Structure 1
Amino acid sequence: MEIRRIHTLHRPAVGPTRSPRLLFVHGGYATAGCWDAYFLPWFSRRGFDCRALDLAGHGASDGRERLDSFGLDDYVEDLTQVAQGLDGPLIVIGHSMGTVVVERFLEQNQVQAAILMAPVPPGGILGATMNIAFSTPAFFSEQTRATRGEYTAQTLRTIRDVYYSPETRTEDLIRFGGLFQAESRRAILDLTLLAMRLGRRRPALPVLVVGGEADAVFQPGLLNFTATRWQAEVAIIPRAGHTLMLDAHWQAAAEKIADWIAQQT
């Protein structure tokens, strides 16, 4: 395993500390900062020690200059490196692409539980990519503009339509812009060919699969495919979009996750 400098955001527990620790893994085109807008402070105020990592080539971690060289297995190494540096019971929480990283991590590592938010379906992203191409053909060019911080009215409208609920405010979309960046082409290829990979043994552990009712990337009906793999509980957040930790309905997702964790501990 290659050792890289992996940047993490740390929000220590406020008040009496609850077990276990929480470790958050961002999705594609994102950075650890996407968790720090709402989730990390919210959970830390409830007594959880929280960390979120920037995967290689993202945020403040090593590798920005060679982002396209990193694949999903490299991201698993990053998660493993950070997780092995933490003591005590641990729950890993991934979003979108980050759920694939978490699932592969679980093939080799034991944790107390896992939470998969807006997970990539076992068949990969090809179907979702084709759906978006037909339903929102301007999306790909507008996403490129957004990752460069170039916002037009159409850019904001398109990003909201695909990634968020209609209730998410325009000023928040602009504020969130700095939390996102380009994604590795190799990682995107890995996600496209996901169905071709033979996974290892999946351990038995509590898993929660969470999705948004208004997710335009991976529709709620796809959640059961991931849940079946893990014999997991499924929670659908009313009216929420794909980017659950930043959506206007983020707190409903956080409360559902906190309630589920309380049932496991």
Structure 2
Amino acid sequence: MATVLSLPPVSLPQPRLRFPKMAIKPRAVLSRAQKMRVPYELKQGQTRFFHQLPSGLNMEAIVQKAVVDKNQYEKIERNIENQSLVFVHGSYHAAWCWAEHWLPFFSGCGFDCYAISLLGQGESDVPVGSVAGTLQTHAGDVADFIRTRVSSPPVLLGHSFGGLIIQYYIANLKKNQALEMETFYPKLAGAALVCSVPPSGNSGLVWRYVFSKPIAAFKVTRSLAAKAFQTSLPLCKETFFSSTMEDHLVLRYQELMRESSRMPLFDLRKLNAALPVPSVPKGSIDVLVLGATDDFIVDAEGLRETGRFYGVSPVSVEGVAHDMMLDCSWEKGAKAILSWLTALRK
């Protein structure tokens, strides 16, 4: 009897204590894994770091410093040494969209290039409570990055809704050092708005499509609002890329776009309440308004509206689609910006 009673306390407790400990450790490791299930592999010369914002949240940045490849860009005038460029993406994108082509191109032309992922996008942290950002919060995060990471006034480049964020930034440049640091917007050397949403927002674009191109309006709404571009290859290509874009590239970018946004870029009600962006004196900052003839999202009138707002003539690149920096003819847009940057420094 005594030997039988002594067995349970020896054999039973040990397995119960050991197994939970083994199960906890892998979860801790997974919680520190990359946020995108399809990670973007950096190219040669690129590094990734995380900028801590005043909120304590971390914002992803991909950096490629200036290095001149004379064999590839021997015809480029060398009067733009060490100017910094900061790139801001739009909806369903992240820093990787600039790292694919434009960061290697512009770093090869002598520019220090920084591409950031806004909060909730790419590898950046998600805001507390998963609250989508506003023009003010996103522009403030960009300002904090420039203030602490970029030594001289950079040129700020924004695509699609990223262009609208830059427009808000420009409108707040008058907020100087006399204000609190959290609202201080550092000076810029210029700004390039690439296939940008106009200063009044995208409502005008939507209504023009409804009345003039109802089929296109349905496709755009289905593609972006319903996120159908994430599962339909033809719709993804029509929305973002040229018809000649190879399917394997569209599939790759489609997968990255699907993984880039863990939450909406904007709270649409707050966004609409903040529009139009405040006007600025004509000529107060050098602005390039750059569009694409084959843009399925921002039409020609939207491009002209942005040009009128800043008192400049917009430039429309032939044979390029909305995702100008990823399209098969990405060099066309890059060279148009380079021409403007060169003239900016003369």
Both proteins in one fold, TM over 0.5 = yes
1:31 to 94, 99, 103: 94
Shift of 1:210: 0.4
| C-alpha separation in 2, matches of 1:42 and 1:215 | 22
Task: Provide the C-alpha distance between the structure 1 equivalents of 2:88 and 2:321, rounded to a whole number of angstroms.
Answer: 18
Q: Kindly tell me: are residues 24 and 230 of structure 1, through their superposed partners in 2, closer, same or farther at Cα, counting changes over 3 Å?
A: same
Q: Between 230-239 and 85-94, report the one with greater CA deviation.
A: 230-239
The 5-angstrom pairing of residues 1-265 of structure 1 reads 2-15=55-68, 18-63=81-126, 66-85=129-148, 86-106=150-170, 107-108=172-173, 109=185, 110-130=187-207, 131=209, 134-136=214-216, 137-143=218-224, 144-147=227-230, 151=231, 155-180=232-257, 181-182=260-261, 183-184=263-264, 186-193=266-273, 195=275, 197=276, 199=278, 201=280, 204-265=284-345
What SS is found at the alignment partner of 1:44?
helix
Moved beyond 6 Å, runs of 4+? none
Q: Is the 8 A contact 1:11 1:40 kept in 2?
A: yes
SS in 2 for 1:7: strand
Shift in Å, 1:198: 5.8
TM value normalised by structure 1: 0.87
Structure 2 CA distance, aligned partners of 1:237 and 1:66?
41
What is the CA–CA distance in structure 2 between the aligned matches of 1:42 and 1:212, rounded to whole Å? 19
How far 1:12 moved relative to its partner? 0.9
Taking the aligned partners of 2:279 and 2:303, their CA distance within structure 1 comes to: 21
Tell me if structure 2 keeps the 8 A contact 1:124–1:194.
no
CA distance in 1, matches of 2:229, 2:304: 31
CA distance in 2, matches of 1:198, 1:11: 31
For 1:18, what is the secondary structure of its paired residue? coil
Secondary structure of the equivalent of 1:122?
coil
Q: Secondary structure at the match of 2:214?
A: helix
Determine the structure 1 residue equivalent to 2:24. none
The answer (yes or no) to whether the contact 1:91–1:112 under 8 Å persists in 2 is yes
Which shows bigger deviation, 21-30 or 213-222?
213-222
Unaligned runs of 5+ in 1: none
Tell me the percent identity.
23
Instruction: Give, in angstroms, the shift of residue 142 of structure 1.
Output: 4.8
Q: Find the aligned partners of 1:208 and 1:157 in 2 and give their Cα distance.
A: 31
1:88 to partner: Cα distance:
1.4
Q: 1:102 to 1:146 in 2, by over 3 A?
A: same
* Residue identity opposite 2:63 in structure 1: H
CA distance 1:260–1:199, change in 2 (3 Å): same
In 2, the alpha carbon distance for the partners of 1:185 and 1:20 equals 29
SS of alignment partner, residue 141 of structure 2: helix
CA contact (8 A) 1:123 1:194 kept: no
Q: Alpha-carbon deviation of 1:233?
A: 3.8
Aligned counterparts of 1:65 and 1:31: Cα–Cα separation in 2: 19
The gaps in structure 2 that reach 5 residues or longer are 1-53, 69-77, 174-184
What's the Cα RMSD here? 2.5
Equivalent pair of 2:241/2:327 in contact (CA under 8 Å): yes
Displacement of 1:56 in angstroms is 0.8
Q: 1:103 Cα shift?
A: 1.1
What do the CA deviations read for 1:99-129 (whole angstroms, capped 9, x no partner)?
1111111223321110000111222112334
Considering Cα pairs closer than 8 Å and 6+ residues apart, tell me whether 1 or 2 has the greater RCO: 1
